[in-house]
Structure 1
């Protein structure tokens, strides 16, 4: 008993020092989608800046498949020492918890929230080969033609956006799952698929470059990064969907380490160059208070409560 107590006291006393020493080696940042997509882009921008803040390199690890569930499973089972963290979003860390009946872990109970990150409104976009010039014309075109649209898989942000689009417009199209919206965007530009409801950070640069056509943004108001693109509501369809992002660690990661990672993420988000880059991509930035672990945990739970009945009503389930 006395030895156990002494050992426990030694571990407790060492915990703050361990947190202060961390990190002493590179950190792996798991990204649940392929390189080139919006989540990967955010991870690379944030990871480089956080690495400078922490004094260690953050190495991007793209773990693709099953709309992010493979990546989040790997994260949940990783050693909780702060050297494996993961980035995810509304789809990977809320919606998947509803649609996958045998996920194998608890998205709330088995992951430790680190920080809430910027949110992406969605853009409704098409290949330049689609003749529609307005959102109304696009809806009419989709109703009259057999059309394919890309997603990053069931439960992904692009899948959520597609469900919201279909529900609001009554238009449907064949959903083609990819391992990320980066590959899907390449096929959209090549007209292998014709339509997407995609995160603005991925689709806005392509629209601005004239490679695809943008019809509307799914935010409550027009974005300062794309003021000429109307909201979906302005175009006649009340679609409001924003894909928020976040950082998580395996459950049991010491609080001192979570706090240090949160501080690095917050510092990165306050960097004027990072903020400018995020705003150029049409992203909405959280406040420092919203980024804190406890606030982010409460926000994630509220999002579960919000989206669970919506997804269940849509009847989307994966065994």
Structure 2
């Protein structure tokens, strides 16, 4: 794994204890920090952002607010960081896909994930799940059984995801091809309407974050038949992974990370990293993430940088293999 010279220099600074800060440090009386998200209030991203904001004050800044800049599938929030001040007061909170997958699914992006941002810390990680609803016979309880059903019912071999061009879209396509069938993708704008259609019987299956499926599974409105992690999800311990079914290349997860604007002094990066690690160690934060099917996974700046590089390269190859093209 090759890590840029800039990141190596950053990691050198990260190794130095930063117990005192200069006159420009944050957390002076009256200071305000902002966490920018690319999604509207009420969703998972917003909920995690607000929990973090609570924990980062008053230690990191006296007041930490959440600013929702929704639009273009999260792109507007990332774009806003290009003009953000480099004082550590403007923080981007985003899922990996907007930085690691979008460069391969959009012809033109208004930002460069590497040149415009500095990684700070991973926040949370979660697995994907494949679920079927009442449109699929009740005796179909495993991924191989679902693939056999699709082969026997090719006109019904459909699956949904919360967005066309998302990791979940590609997950279903890749899984179908690994099983030797073509699954037809049905794109939605978010998971709410998709899960409603799945539970109502008008959509046979879907790929979704595990956390979005838990309540429906508990209520018996759908059946999760496979998960994407390297081991079984602690939230669905009775559900086998894709790898257990023999799809050994189908090991995926998604993560949320925090980033600052490019050229932000390293002292701010490290200071925020330390504050986030403390926040993610709090039992109430760990429990709140668990309710969303997520694990708190703090990291160093350089570890997050390496994660993004690996995922960007991997998803680039996967997207290309599907033949997906974007109009924008």
Shorter-chain TM-score above 0.5: yes
Match status 1:101 vs 2:107: yes
Query: Residue 124 of structure 2 corresponds to which residue in structure 1?
Result: 118
Match status 1:78 vs 2:89: no
Against the structure 1 CA distance between its residues 36 and 205, is the aligned structure 2 distance closer, same or farther, given a 3 Å change threshold? Answer: farther
Pick which of 106-115 and 192-201 moved more. Answer: 192-201
Against the structure 1 CA distance between its residues 190 and 18, is the aligned structure 2 distance closer, same or farther, given a 3 Å change threshold? Answer: farther
1:261 positional shift: 2.2
Query: Residue 12 of structure 1 corresponds to which residue in structure 2?
Result: none
Tell me, which stretches of 5 or more residues in structure 1 are unaligned? 1-14
Q: Which has the higher helix share?
A: 1
Q: Distance in 2 between matches of 1:47 and 1:148?
A: 40
Count of aligned positions: 300
1:187 positional shift: 4.0
Match status 1:30 vs 2:44: no
Q: Distance in 1 between matches of 2:164 and 2:291?
A: 28
Q: Distance in 2 between matches of 1:183 and 1:76?
A: 33
Q: Distance in 2 between matches of 1:194 and 1:74?
A: 39
CA deviation string 1:66-93 (max 9, x = no partner): x332332233343444343222223111
Q: Distance in 2 between matches of 1:251 and 1:299?
A: 18
1:89/1:243 contact within 8 Å kept: yes
1:94 positional shift: 0.5
Q: Distance in 2 between matches of 1:243 and 1:232?
A: 16
Match status 1:134 vs 2:142: yes
Secondary structure at the aligned position of 1:136 is classed as: helix
Matches within 5 A, 1:207-246: 207-238=217-248, 239-246=250-257
Match status 1:309 vs 2:320: no
CA deviation string 1:133-192 (max 9, x = no partner): 3322322333413355333324433224323323323341232131x3345334433445
Tell me, which stretches of 5 or more residues in structure 2 are unaligned? 1-20
Against the structure 1 CA distance between its residues 103 and 62, is the aligned structure 2 distance closer, same or farther, given a 3 Å change threshold? Answer: closer
Matches within 5 A, 1:246-265: 246-265=257-276
Match status 1:195 vs 2:205: yes
Match status 1:47 vs 2:53: yes
Q: Distance in 2 between matches of 1:62 and 1:191?
A: 34
2:41/2:68 contact within 8 Å kept: no
CA deviation string 1:105-159 (max 9, x = no partner): 2111111212112211111112334323332232233341335533332443322
Matches within 5 A, 1:58-69: 58-61=65-68, 63-65=70-72, 67-69=73-75
Query: Residue 302 of structure 2 corresponds to which residue in structure 1?
Result: 294
1:164/1:241 contact within 8 Å kept: no
Q: Distance in 2 between matches of 1:171 and 1:260?
A: 48
Q: Distance in 2 between matches of 1:284 and 1:201?
A: 11
